[in-house]
Structure 1
Amino acid sequence: MLNRRLFLSGSAAAITALTLPSSFAQALIHDEMGAVDRWERLRGIAGDLLLRPEDTGFANAALPNNLRFEAVRPEGVVYCNSPQMVADVINWCRDNDMPFAIRGGGHSYAGFSTSHGLVIDMARMDEIAIDAETGVATIGAGAINYEIYAALDAAGRTTTHGRCPSVGIAGFLMGGGIGFNMRRFGMACDSLISAEIVTADGQIRTCSETENADLFWALRGGAGGNFGVATSFTLQTHPAETSITVFRIVWRDKVLDVASALFETIDAAPDTMGTRVAFGGINPTMTGRGRQVPLTLLGQFAGSKEDFLALMAPVLAVGEPDFADIQEAPYWQGQDFLAEEGEPAYYRERSTFHTSVPDREFLAQAIDHMARWPGTGASANLVFFQTGAAVNAVASDATAFVHRDSRFLSTANLSWSKDDTARPDVVRASTDWQDELYALVTASDTKGAFQNFPDPSLTDWRERYYGENLARLSAVKAAVDPTNVFRFGQSI
């Protein structure tokens, strides 16, 4: 039987609900009736955009890209579709002391895009608009590279971007963002004009050089997830070439001689050259078959094939490649050639920045170590991304991205198979080998680590990621998130 008090309270809730968004209306009415738990209140905000473990599609929605962290399963995944919905969800998390992770593409090397609580997925906020006259692009924080590439291609534009189609823009931009264009256009974060972000108090803030300037500074290199949930970015793009030269060249003979010449040659190349140099690990079976450590050069040159070959002449004179694919192509067709799929896998990466060109003594030690990889069911590599030029033209304190004096960024990376997870001794032997490789690398002329490649094994990660900018970043964090709502394993 409906008593008068319940009728009046229910009526008041219904009347109040008429003045509120429908998501709040449903949640409020249920609250007044005292009939729901916290997840039902979140359902009132998100509706069908909330997935729980019993819902169809939850297992795939909860799966991280780095399968090392597949056991970290959230209690829910919510797909936000507007800045206001993001604010409502953050308020819910704060009010319910619910741990959460923000997910764009979900490619966090350290598993920071998943949580035992709630995953806030931004995939629905993927709108992209590019001004035909100015080349200024406004991109939703849930957009992934594949969508951004298509929009830039249609507009005849480019910027500093990565190679993996499923990587999200938000984490990429806020951690700095590397790519083959960085030597001529700078880090991806250097192109940022403004950003919109929801902070811990549920406010939707616009950030630029003139508005919330300290927060805007922090968003350019202070890494994702520290200061709020970014909802959109506005950045400057550049005209894309009608033709570039892309290349993949592999040497398996005279590798030390070739590598020594290669690093000297590309370091002297113009900023229109972007390269990735990789040494592959070989396991005992490969060594027994006479295999040598392979050296692979991948990249692009904003010029002709003829001019590229002229630049590479000193290297090609040292050693003939085992394989070479060099071709001219329209800019975005060339990116298809360079792309890596980035499918979910088990992997671990350790990074550092090189302030000088790797010398022959170091390269000899690195190649020897690569030849002693214990082996897994997948691969191991020592990779060098060429930096310098426009990356270093920006002062180290002009943005939060502090790494402005490097020539190369290296990563000691390791991956293993599903079968290897049942053989922990195999994985452990290779991770120990990887740590020894990282110790070898960091004993050379290196400093710091790349915040876009978070490494849970670092104990001094704050200093390595942020260097001299850490104090200012900590001050920005204290101002916008004083109660540390945005927290994870390596949050500021």
Structure 2
Amino acid sequence: MSLTESLTAEVSRRALLRGVGGSAALLAVGAAAATPPWSQLQQRMAGTLYVKGSSGYAAVAHGYNPRFDAVWPSAVARCVSAADVSAAVTFASSNAVPFTVRSGGHALTGWSTGTGLVIDTTLISRVTVDSASATATVGAGARLIDVYQRVSSAGLALPGGTCGSVGISGLAMGGGIGALTRPWGLTCDQLTAATVVFADGSVKQVSASRWPGLFWALRGGGGGSFGVATSFTFRLRPAPTFQVYSMSYPMAAAAAVVAGYQSFIATADARLHCELAFRATPSTGSTTLAVTGTWIGSASALTTQLSALIARIGVQPSSRSVSSQSYFTAMLNEAQCTSYATCHLPPEGSIPRVPSAGASTMVYQPLPSDAIAKLIQQVKAGLSVTNATWTGCTVVGLGGAVRSTTTSDSAYGHRNALMMLHYLARWPSRTPPLDGAPFDAYVRGFRAAMAPWCGTAAYVNYLDSAIADYGNAYWPGTYAQLQTVKRGVDPANLFRFAQSVRG
């Protein structure tokens, strides 16, 4: 069945559907009821409903980023199954309660929380691996590090992201960029099926043969517009051995590094993951530059790759290190974790909740010399951001297997991007909290400074409320089709948030 045919079939079911919601995004359903009958929802759930002020509420009220801790939900439904999610969605719709669906709670905009009902999928986190078919079925609330641990224990691997505590839902539906992206593709490219709760409370299996239009949209179309995903099925591959490398350069060589890097990565072997990490630390007045990445080939072959990269840069690194690591060890290190046990938020682990701001630019053409100069200028400008722990920009090489999947197969629109610029700012968690506005201003100023050369394209997993034409920024070339899907499954736009797909 073609996408157009599938949408026609979906439209014919409008009498059944009232709309579809999405994970990790604000789902506004009318005006909030004055006094929601919360006891009715608890009676329908196997999980626990925490009403504001009740015992245990404070421990589940907030997501990853403490800058949004001033937002207190009216209630948090800790769901343990798709049936619980169904009950919560039906309750919110029937009682006109605005609600938000939370997976990992990492949204840079704070849109994974709200003042109404938070439908929390954290406890729907089981990871089941079928070694015979090399697939994994993953609960929507699973953290990425738990997925890595479970699949690696079976000798298998999934391309994912870099943050161990991020929820699988938002990562997978928005794309998923990490060490195995260039060799194997995005996380969304590995998706073969999903379980989705619709607005009428029905639970449906979505795949290329069942609701194919919606399946296309879930692969890169982001969360929040089409359905509350409660589980995902991914194809896996045998876990590779990684060669992990790092090279440091003085900032004086930054222009040569960027120019050489972007020239090299455009045609580099797809087995090589490579990025540049610029960091500015205001407290020390220092800026640093590192070239880091992974290789899923032999150590001797990596030596050849790095020699070619260094030759393209034209400057020898100040230092260089290479180590051989297992898939899981490499994923732990990429998440900056010392062990699996510590790679969780407290109280389970020791990953700190750090206030942060971020934005991104997808780059399609090599940066000319004046754009490179501007990038370096903006990195150094981070030294003037008062109270910042650090600021900077990570330049992530794309291409490779990302281009192997087309926009006919998925909604991800940046298939031909050369690289991504990820702008970041972090600051201390304090009481009272610091105002996030100056840090937002830095990352958005960085993005605006690069726009004359790069345009407005951005990565949906780094949501940025300052982007006006977000549809074409996040989904160039696929947004119109996403709107068609939206009209087919949710013509009344029941589920929406500030940057959801509009029908």
What's the TM-score bracket when you normalise by the shorter of the two chains? 0.7 to 0.9
Within the candidate set 464, 467, 479, 1:470 is matched to: 479
**Which whole-Å CA distance do the structure 2 matches of 1:422 and 1:448 have between them?**
32
Preserved contact between residue 360 and residue 421 of structure 2 (Cα < 8 Å): yes
Q: Deviations over 1:357-394 (max 9, x none)?
A: 33443222211222222123311111111111211222
**Which whole-Å CA distance do the structure 2 matches of 1:234 and 1:471 have between them?**
27
Q: Which residue of structure 2 lines up, in the alignment, with residue 16 of structure 1?
A: none
Shift, 1:316, TM fit: 4.0
Structure ranking higher in helix proportion = 1
Q: 1:422 to 1:159 in 2, by over 3 A?
A: closer
Within the candidate set 225, 244, 247, 1:246 is matched to: 244
Preserved contact between residue 282 and residue 372 of structure 1 (Cα < 8 Å): no
Preserved contact between residue 36 and residue 95 of structure 2 (Cα < 8 Å): no
Q: Which residue of structure 2 lines up, in the alignment, with residue 108 of structure 1?
A: 107
Q: Which residue of structure 2 lines up, in the alignment, with residue 306 of structure 1?
A: 300
**Secondary structure in structure 2 of the residue aligned to 1:392:** helix
**Secondary structure in structure 1 of the residue aligned to 2:193:** strand
Q: Which residue of structure 1 lines up, in the alignment, with residue 448 of structure 2?
A: 439
Aligned residue runs from structure 1 range 267-306, under 5 A? 267-283=266-282, 286-287=284-285, 291=286, 293-306=287-300
Q: Which residue of structure 2 lines up, in the alignment, with residue 19 of structure 1?
A: none
Aligned residue runs from structure 1 range 325-340, under 5 A? 325-340=321-336
Flag the structure with more relative contact order, 1 or 2, with Cα contacts below 8 A and sequence separation at least 6. Answer: 2
Shift, 1:251, TM fit: 1.6
Give the residue type in structure 2 aligned to 1:235: F
**Which whole-Å CA distance do the structure 1 matches of 2:89 and 2:55 have between them?**
24
Whether 1:416 aligns to 2:412 is no
- Structure 1: runs of 5+ lacking an equivalent: 1-35
**Secondary structure in structure 2 of the residue aligned to 1:443:** helix
TM-score by length of structure 2 reads 0.84
TM-score by length of structure 1 reads 0.86
Shift, 1:420, TM fit: 9.7
**Secondary structure in structure 2 of the residue aligned to 1:406:** coil
Give the residue type in structure 1 aligned to 2:475: Y
Of 378-387 and 262-271, deviating more is 262-271
Shift, 1:398, TM fit: 2.7
Q: Which residue of structure 2 lines up, in the alignment, with residue 180 of structure 1?
A: 179
**Secondary structure in structure 1 of the residue aligned to 2:477:** helix
Q: 1:315 to 1:391 in 2, by over 3 A?
A: closer
**Which whole-Å CA distance do the structure 2 matches of 1:323 and 1:316 have between them?**
12
Of 126-135 and 54-63, deviating more is 54-63
Q: Deviations over 1:69-94 (max 9, x none)?
A: 22111011111112122111110000
Q: Deviations over 1:251-289 (max 9, x none)?
A: 225222233223323333210011221222354x645xx
Preserved contact between residue 174 and residue 461 of structure 2 (Cα < 8 Å): yes
Give the residue type in structure 1 aligned to 2:143: I
- Structure 2: runs of 5+ lacking an equivalent: 1-34, 338-350
Shift, 1:397, TM fit: 3.6
Q: 1:356 to 1:321 in 2, by over 3 A?
A: same
Preserved contact between residue 176 and residue 187 of structure 2 (Cα < 8 Å): yes
**Secondary structure in structure 1 of the residue aligned to 2:217:** helix
**Secondary structure in structure 1 of the residue aligned to 2:381:** coil
**Secondary structure in structure 2 of the residue aligned to 1:306:** helix
Higher gyration radius (CA): 1
Preserved contact between residue 249 and residue 318 of structure 2 (Cα < 8 Å): yes
Q: Which residue of structure 2 lines up, in the alignment, with residue 127 of structure 1?
A: 126
**Which whole-Å CA distance do the structure 1 matches of 2:434 and 2:104 have between them?**
29
Q: Which residue of structure 2 lines up, in the alignment, with residue 86 of structure 1?
A: 85
**Which whole-Å CA distance do the structure 2 matches of 1:102 and 1:466 have between them?**
22
Aligned residue runs from structure 1 range 351-370, under 5 A? 351-370=360-379
Aligned residue runs from structure 1 range 317-396, under 5 A? 318-340=314-336, 343-373=352-382, 374-375=384-385, 376-396=387-407
Q: Which residue of structure 2 lines up, in the alignment, with residue 117 of structure 1?
A: 116
Q: 1:204 to 1:47 in 2, by over 3 A?
A: closer
**Secondary structure in structure 2 of the residue aligned to 1:335:** helix
Give the residue type in structure 2 aligned to 1:391: V
Q: Which residue of structure 1 lines up, in the alignment, with residue 160 of structure 2?
A: 161
Shift, 1:186, TM fit: 1.4
Aligned residue runs from structure 1 range 171-250, under 5 A? 171-241=170-240, 243-250=241-248
**Secondary structure in structure 1 of the residue aligned to 2:306:** helix
**Which whole-Å CA distance do the structure 1 matches of 2:464 and 2:302 have between them?**
35
**Which whole-Å CA distance do the structure 2 matches of 1:212 and 1:48 have between them?**
29
Q: Which residue of structure 1 lines up, in the alignment, with residue 493 of structure 2?
A: 484
**Which whole-Å CA distance do the structure 2 matches of 1:435 and 1:167 have between them?**
23
Within the candidate set 407, 411, 418, 1:400 is matched to: 411
Give the residue type in structure 1 aligned to 2:370: E
**Secondary structure in structure 2 of the residue aligned to 1:377:** coil
Q: 1:207 to 1:428 in 2, by over 3 A?
A: closer
Preserved contact between residue 78 and residue 119 of structure 1 (Cα < 8 Å): yes
Give the residue type in structure 2 aligned to 1:311: Q
Preserved contact between residue 390 and residue 427 of structure 2 (Cα < 8 Å): yes
Q: 1:266 to 1:48 in 2, by over 3 A?
A: closer
Of 337-346 and 455-464, deviating more is 337-346
**Secondary structure in structure 2 of the residue aligned to 1:321:** coil
Matched-pair identity in % = 29
Of 244-253 and 214-223, deviating more is 244-253
**Which whole-Å CA distance do the structure 1 matches of 2:109 and 2:188 have between them?**
21
Q: 1:484 to 1:367 in 2, by over 3 A?
A: same
